[in-house]
C-alpha cells in the first residue's frame, strides 16, 4: 500500500439532498450522496492524485459498506477506517433552495445511541496509526468530532501525535450547530462553551480555513490578519465568503482572490471541502514557510477552481475534479486577483 502524505480524520456520512425548494424529510425525490467534510477532502485529494489516509467510523450497514467501497475505489488508505456495530452511518437531511444553496435540516436513522462518526475510537486509532501515518506531511481536521465525547478524545490524540511527529495540521472550522445540538436550532451563533472547545485546538494548527460568518462568530472579525494575530501560533488563514472575494493570509502574505463566476449551479454541497482539498494538494509540493506572494495567489486560485467544479453536480464527492479538469477550468477562467 502506498504511504500517505495526508491524513484526514473525522466524519463520513450520507447527505440526503431534497428536491430543490423541497423538504428532504418528506418530499421526493431525494438523492443520497456520500459526504462528511474530512471524507470529502480525502476523496478530493485522492482524485487530484495525492496519497491520503482516512480515519473515521462508519456503521455496519449498507451505507457504511458502500462508503468503504468508494474510499477503496478512490485509492484511499482505509487502514484507519473503523466499523461500528452499534451505531448507524449518519444520514444528514439537506434542504436545497432553487439556487443550489444548502441548509442542514437534522438527521435520520438514530436508533438511540447516536451515529458511528460520534464514536471514533482513540484506542483503535492508536493501534492503526503505524499503518496510517507513514510519511505524512499534513493532518486535515474539522471541528465536528469535538461535539462528541468519544470522537473528541480520538481527535485530540491525533492532534497531539501529529505535533509530536512534526506533521502540520490544517483545520476547516466548519461550524455546524446541528451537529453539536443534535437537532435543528434557530440559534446559529456558538455558545461560550462550544466556542471555547473549538478555539482550544486552534493554537495547534498551521492553517485555518473558515467562512466569513464563522470568523465573525469565533473571532469577531473577518480579517485574516486579525484572526491569525489572535492565536499564539500565528497560523495562515483563509476566509471564504460565498460568491464574494476570498481573503487570505499565507506565510505572512495577504491578498484577496475573486471566486469564479458560476452558471448552472446544481448543488454547493462540498464546494468548501473541494477548495480545502485543492489547497492541501498544492501545499504538499511546497513548504508553508517558503511560499511567496505569487505562489500563494496561484494556490488559492487552484483551490477556487476545485470548489467551483464541484458545484456542477449533485453531492460533495461524485463531481470532484481530476487535475486535468482544473487545468482546463483555469485556462478558460476569467477570474482575477487583487
Please check whether residue 269 is in contact with residue 35, taking contact to mean a CB–CB distance below 8 angstroms.
yes
Give pLDDT, residue 211.
96
Alpha-carbon span 153 to 271, nearest angstrom: 28
Count Cβ atoms below 10 Å from residue 19 Cβ, excluding itself. 15
Max Cα distance, the chain (Å): 52
Alpha-carbon span 95 to 104, nearest angstrom: 6
- Closest C-alpha among 336, 323, 326, 331 to residue 48: 323
Q: At the topology level of CATH, where does 6-332 sit? A: 3.40.1190
Q: What is the pLDDT along the chain (338 residues), one digit of tens a residue?
A: 344 599 999 999 998 988 887 777 777 888 898 999 999 999 999 999 999 999 999 999 999 999 999 999 999 999 999 999 999 999 999 887 776 566 777 899 899 999 999 999 999 999 999 999 989 999 999 999 999 999 999 999 999 999 999 999 999 999 999 999 877 778 899 999 999 999 999 999 999 999 999 999 999 999 999 999 999 999 999 999 988 999 999 999 999 998 877 667 766 667 899 999 999 999 999 999 999 999 999 999 999 999 998 888 767 788 899 999 999 988 876 444 33
Give pLDDT, residue 1.
39
Alpha-carbon span 90 to 81, nearest angstrom: 15
Strand order in the sheet with 138-141: 81-84, 52-59, 6-9, 138-141, 168-172, 207-211, 236-241, 244-250, 253-257
Q: Where are the domains of the chain?
A: 6-332
Give pLDDT, residue 296.
98
Q: Cα(first)–Cα(last) distance of the chain, in Å? A: 43
Give pLDDT, residue 298.
96
Amino acid at each position: 500500500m502506498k504511504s500517505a502524505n495526508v491524513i484526514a480524520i473525522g466524519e463520513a456520512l450520507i447527505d440526503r439532498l431534497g428536491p430543490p425548494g423541497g423538504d428532504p424529510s418528506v418530499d421526493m425525490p431525494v438523492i443520497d450522496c456520500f459526504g462528511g467534510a474530512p471524507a470529502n477532502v480525502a476523496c478530493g485529494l485522492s482524485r487530484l492524485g495525492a496519497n491520503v489516509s482516512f480515519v473515521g467510523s462508519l456503521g455496519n450497514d449498507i451505507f457504511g459498506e458502500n462508503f468503504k467501497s468508494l474510499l477503496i475505489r478512490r485509492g484511499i488508505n482505509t487502514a484507519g477506517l473503523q466499523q461500528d456495530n452499534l451505531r448507524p452511518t449518519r444520514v444528514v437531511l439537506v434542504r436545497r433552495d432553487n439556487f443550489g444553496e444548502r441548509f442542514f435540516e437534522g438527521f435520520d436513522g438514530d436508533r438511540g445511541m447516536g451515529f458511528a462518526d460520534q464514536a471514533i475510537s482513540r484506542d483503535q486509532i492508536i493501534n492503526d496509526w503505524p499503518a496510517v501515518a507513514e510519511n505524512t506531511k499534513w493532518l486535515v481536521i474539522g471541528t465536528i468530532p469535538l461535539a462528541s465525547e468519544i470522537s473528541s478524545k480520538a481527535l485530540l490524540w491525533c492532534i497531539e501525535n501529529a505535533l509530536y511527529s512534526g506533521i502540520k495540521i490544517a483545520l476547516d472550522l466548519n461550524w455546524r450547530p446541528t451537529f453539536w445540538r443534535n437537532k435543528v436550532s434557530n440559534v446559529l451563533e456558538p455558545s461560550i462553551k462550544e466556542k471555547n472547545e473549538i478555539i482550544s485546538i486552534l493554537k495547534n494548527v498551521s492553517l485555518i480555513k473558515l467562512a466569513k460568518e464563522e470568523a465573525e462568530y469565533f473571532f469577531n472579525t473577518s480579517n485574516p490578519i486579525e484572526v491569525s494575530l489572535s492565536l499564539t501560533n500565528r497560523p495562515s488563514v483563509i476566509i471564504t465568503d460565498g460568491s464574494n472575494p476570498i481573503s487570505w493570509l499565507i506565510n505572512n502574505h495577504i491578498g484577496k482572490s475573486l471566486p469564479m463566476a458560476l452558471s448552472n449551479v446544481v448543488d454547493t454541497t462540498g464546494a468548501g471541502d473541494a477548495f480545502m482539498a485543492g489547497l492541501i494538494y498544492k501545499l504538499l509540493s511546497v513548504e508553508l514557510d517558503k511560499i511567496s506572494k505569487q505562489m500563494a495567489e496561484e494556490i488559492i486560485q487552484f483551490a477556487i477552481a476545485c470548489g467551483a467544479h464541484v458545484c456542477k453536480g449533485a453531492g460533495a464527492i461524485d463531481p470532484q475534479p481530476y487535475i486535468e479538469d482544473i487545468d482546463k477550468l483555469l485556462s478558460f477562467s476569467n477570474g482575477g486577483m487583487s
